[in-house]
Structure formats: C-alpha cells, structure tokens
C-alpha cells in the first residue's frame, strides 16, 4: 500500500525533533542560562523552564567544569556534581557573568545546589538558582528564577518595609544628558549624567563588564527614575544607584543593597 502523502512530513518532523534533542543540551547552557548580551536571547522567552515549585536541593562534590558555545549565543558554564554514585550536570550561567565572580567554584569543592531539574531528551540537567560552598553563597537567580545576569525586570519592583521610606528619600527623576564612566573602589563603572530638578547629577550604575552585557540600552534623552533600594551611596559627586525605573519596568542592580553582579556573599 502506498504511504500517505503526509508521511514525508511526519518523518521530517521526527528528524527535526531528534536533532533538537541533541541541540537542546547546548542551548540549555546558552539560551536558558546563557548570556543576556546583544547576541543572546532574552530570558523571557525561556523563563517558563524555571518553575520555583519544582526546586530541589542536593549536596555533592564538584567533579568537573565545562564551557559550551553555540554560534550567536553567549558561552555558558556548567559543573558536574557527584552525589554518591551519580553525577548531575548543573548549569550556572554565561561565562562572562560566572567567570567574574569573586570566588570561583573549583574541582573538589563540596557544594550545596538549589535549582530546578530539566529533562532534555534522556538527559537531565539542573538550572541552578544558587550554589552554597560552606557559608558562601553564589546567587545566580532571584526567588522567582529570573537570572541576575539580566538586570531588567518587566514590571516595577516594589520596595516594602524600611526600604520603602528609604526609596522615597533617595528618588531622583530626570532626563539623561550624557553617558560617562566613573571609578568606584578602583573599578570602572558605567554611568550617566542626568538632568534632575536639582540640576545635573552623576550616577554610576554598574561595572562596565556587567552593564555592556545588558539587553537594555539607555540613551540620551531618555527619562529615568533612579532610586536606592536600601539607600543610595554617594561617592564624591557621584551617586551609586541601586535600581532604575525605565519604560514601565525596573533595572535591578542591587538586591537589598547587595549587588546582583557581586557573586559570592556570606550566608547566615
């Protein structure tokens, strides 16, 4: 009996599906936890892969470290964690972000991983939200699973408690008149000169290595709201901002005063 005319289409779709099953492990390290720079996909398209309700926590010893790159995507970094007789692949994030953190994860380190398992074909990987090494914590995502290497949040982030009053006291509104760089504690920060009601003011937003990888571009003439989530810090004539309200969303640079690009910090 001759095969139906759509059989070729069915077989083609199966071939594409099989190819994607081999490609997705790479994309897990690139698109899902990959960089958010100009050549990288936004996290919003794949945000559904991280479901906080499916989070698991496990401990083990780091037995391997890998990097992977697909043309057009940022290079991603992952580690292998040995738990008893099993090994789990843990996706950390883009190399440009993970590699800049103050404390590296090394082979032989005993770590505690919190993340969401994702099955790709027959392979399971863990999308990490945080890695604990002793009392040190490498924070990679916020509680909802959004990555810290992308500072953009599509809705305004509310500040509650004492931070709310501090936010009001440190709120600045104005129009960007120029871009600039500033030295903060010996590190170069990207920043802007903003025309406010009090006149032109200098604002440092984030280290240049972090800011240049962000998908959001602020331009001269943009109207912005800059405020402190826990209080802005003034260094000479430069104000170090914590968050920027822009175009209906928020660019979050610090979480309760802790830089989202800061890497390891001391846990409780």
196-216 confidence digits (pLDDT tens) = 998 999 999 999 999 999 988
**Measured distance CA(211)–CA(217) in Å, rounded:** 9
Q: Please check whether residues 159 and 124 belong to one and the same domain.
A: no
HSE-up of residue 47 (Cα within 13 Å, Cβ side): 16
Report whether 148 contacts 260 (CB < 8 A). yes
Q: Please check whether residues 131 and 209 belong to one and the same domain.
A: no
CA 197, chain centre distance (Å)? 33
Q: Please check whether residues 140 and 218 belong to one and the same domain.
A: no
Predicted confidence band of residue 10 (pLDDT cuts 50, 70, 90): very low
For residue 175, what is the enclosing H or E element?
Answer: strand 172-184
Average pLDDT, the chain: 76
Which tokens hold the place of 134? Answer: 């002793």
Tell me 41's DSSP state: -
Predicted confidence band of residue 60 (pLDDT cuts 50, 70, 90): very high
Q: What pLDDT, on the 0 to 100 scale, is given for residue 153?
A: 80
Q: Which of 129, 155, 132, 154 is nearest to 143 (CA)?
A: 129
Which tokens hold the place of 36? Answer: 């958010």
Q: What pLDDT, on the 0 to 100 scale, is given for residue 237?
A: 86
Domain termination site, one of 150, 177, 195: 150
For the chain, how many structural domains are there in total?
2
Q: Please check whether residues 85 and 208 belong to one and the same domain.
A: no
**Measured distance CA(34)–CA(17) in Å, rounded:** 22
Q: Please check whether residues 159 and 109 belong to one and the same domain.
A: no
Q: Per residue in 70-119, pLDDT tens?
A: 666 678 899 999 999 999 999 999 999 998 887 678 999 999 999 999 88
Which tokens hold the place of 9? Answer: 């289409």
Q: Please check whether residues 247 and 136 belong to one and the same domain.
A: no
Q: Per residue in 14-58, pLDDT tens?
A: 443 443 344 444 444 444 333 334 333 333 334 457 899 999 999
Q: What pLDDT, on the 0 to 100 scale, is given for residue 156?
A: 57
Range of the domain at 229: 153-257
Q: Please check whether residues 210 and 244 belong to one and the same domain.
A: yes
Domain termination site, one of 150, 167, 183: 150
Q: Please check whether residues 182 and 228 belong to one and the same domain.
A: yes
Q: Please check whether residues 107 and 216 belong to one and the same domain.
A: no
Report whether 55 contacts 114 (CB < 8 A). yes
Strands (E), 185-263: 187-196, 199-207, 223-227, 233-235, 238-240, 243-246, 249-252, 254-255, 258-259
Q: Per residue in 234-261, pLDDT tens?
A: 667 888 888 898 888 889 888 666 788 8
Residue 267 has φ and ψ, to the nearest 5°, of -90, 180
Residues 6+ apart with CB under 8 A from 239: 172, 201, 202, 203, 204, 226, 232, 233
Q: Please check whether residues 185 and 92 belong to one and the same domain.
A: no
**Measured distance CA(22)–CA(68) in Å, rounded:** 14
Q: Please check whether residues 74 and 162 belong to one and the same domain.
A: no
Domain termination site, one of 99, 124, 150: 150
Report whether 30 contacts 73 (CB < 8 A). yes
Residue 58: CATH number of its domain: 2.40.50.140
Kindly state whether residue 237 falls inside one of the protein's structural domains: yes
Kindly state whether residue 7 falls inside one of the protein's structural domains: no
Mark residue 253 as left, alpha or beta (left: phi above 0; alpha: psi -120 to 50; beta: remaining): alpha
pTM for the full model?
Answer: 0.74
């Amino acid at each position: 009996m001759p095969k139906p005319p759509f059989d070729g289409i069915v077989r083609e779709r199966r071939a594409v599906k099989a190819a994607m099953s081999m490609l997705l492990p790479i994309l897990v390290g690139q698109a899902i936890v990959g960089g958010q720079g100009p050549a990288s996909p936004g996290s919003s398209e794949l945000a559904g892969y991280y479901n906080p309700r499916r989070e698991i926590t496990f401990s083990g010893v780091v037995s391997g470290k890998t990097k992977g790159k697909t043309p057009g995507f940022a290079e991603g970094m992952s580690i292998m964690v040995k738990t008893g007789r099993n090994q789990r692949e843990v996706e950390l994030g883009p190399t440009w972000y993970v590699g800049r953190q103050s404390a590296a994860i090394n082979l032989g380190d005993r770590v505690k991983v919190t993340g969401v398992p994702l099955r790709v074909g027959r392979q399971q990987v863990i999308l990490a939200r945080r890695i604990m090494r002793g009392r040190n914590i490498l924070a990679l995502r916020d509680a909802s699973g959004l990555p810290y290497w992308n500072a953009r949040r599509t809705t305004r982030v509310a500040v509650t408690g004492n931070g709310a009053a501090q936010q009001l006291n440190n709120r600045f509104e104005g129009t960007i008149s120029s871009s600039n760089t500033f030295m903060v504690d010996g590190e170069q920060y990207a920043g802007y000169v903003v025309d406010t009601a009090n006149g032109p003011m200098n604002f440092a937003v984030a280290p240049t290595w972090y800011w240049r990888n962000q998908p959001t571009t602020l331009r001269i003439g943009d109207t912005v709201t800059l405020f402190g989530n826990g209080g802005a810090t003034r260094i000479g004539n430069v104000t170090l901002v914590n968050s920027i309200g822009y175009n209906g969303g928020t660019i979050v640079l610090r979480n309760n005063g802790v830089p989202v690009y800061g890497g390891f910090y001391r846990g409780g």
